[in-house]
């Protein structure tokens, strides 16, 4: 009798796993120990290798990337952001002063502005801005540099 219950339980675990549920979900739903589920389903892959899977925190980060155009990386978000970058070639990563930022290809100027806003010092030299722009693969003209820094262009007129 005990063997039939075990076999039926194992069949139910395997059915749930092959239906697409994670090992953790199966353990929670069936009120079983995770190690038991893992032991009997470790040969079943977590996801299909030919299909990229994005779930959990990565979905939230992808939404933020699409809305804002950039996401600052943290220790918690780094693995999910790396997975997103591997699956989507239009996502780029740059690092300035030890801080990483992930951004969409066409949103590199927005990402640069975000990095400038988070910079501790409010003083930025043109040379520093040029180096930062190279990291983001942006060619800034003198006029654009002034607009990024926030200087107003004043043309002096001579009085006659």
78 token code pair: 């780094």
Torsion of CA 117, 148, 90, 78, to 10 degrees: -20
Do residues 144 and 153 touch, judged by C-beta distance below 8 A?
A: no
pLDDT score of 153 more than 50: no
Burial status of residue 22 (CB atoms within 10 A of its CB: 0-12, 13-18, 19 or more): middle
Instruction: Please tell me the CATH code under which domain 57-149 is placed.
Output: 1.10.10
SS3 70: strand
Mean pLDDT of the chain: 78
Tell me the pLDDT tens digit for each residue of 36-72.
888 888 887 766 555 556 777 888 888 888 888 888 8
Give the residue extent of every domain in the chain: 2-41, 57-149
pTM: 0.55
């Amino acid at each position: 009798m005990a063997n039939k219950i075990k076999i039926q339980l194992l069949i139910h675990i395997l059915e749930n796993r092959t239906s697409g549920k994670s090992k953790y979900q199966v353990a929670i739903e069936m009120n079983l120990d995770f190690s038991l589920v893992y032991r009997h389903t470790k040969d079943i892959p977590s996801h299909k290798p030919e299909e990229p899977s994005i779930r959990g925190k990565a979905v939230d980060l992808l939404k933020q990337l699409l809305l804002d155009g950039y996401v600052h990386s943290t220790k918690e978000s780094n693995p999910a952001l790396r997975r997103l970058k591997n699956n989507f070639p239009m996502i780029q990563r740059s690092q300035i002063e030890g801080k990483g930022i992930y951004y969409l290809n066409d949103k590199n100027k927005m990402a640069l502005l975000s990095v400038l806003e988070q910079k501790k010092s409010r003083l930025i030299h043109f040379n520093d801005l040029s180096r930062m722009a190279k990291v983001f693969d942006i060619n800034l003209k003198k006029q654009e540099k002034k607009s990024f820094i926030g200087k107003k262009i004043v043309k002096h007129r001579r009085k006659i």
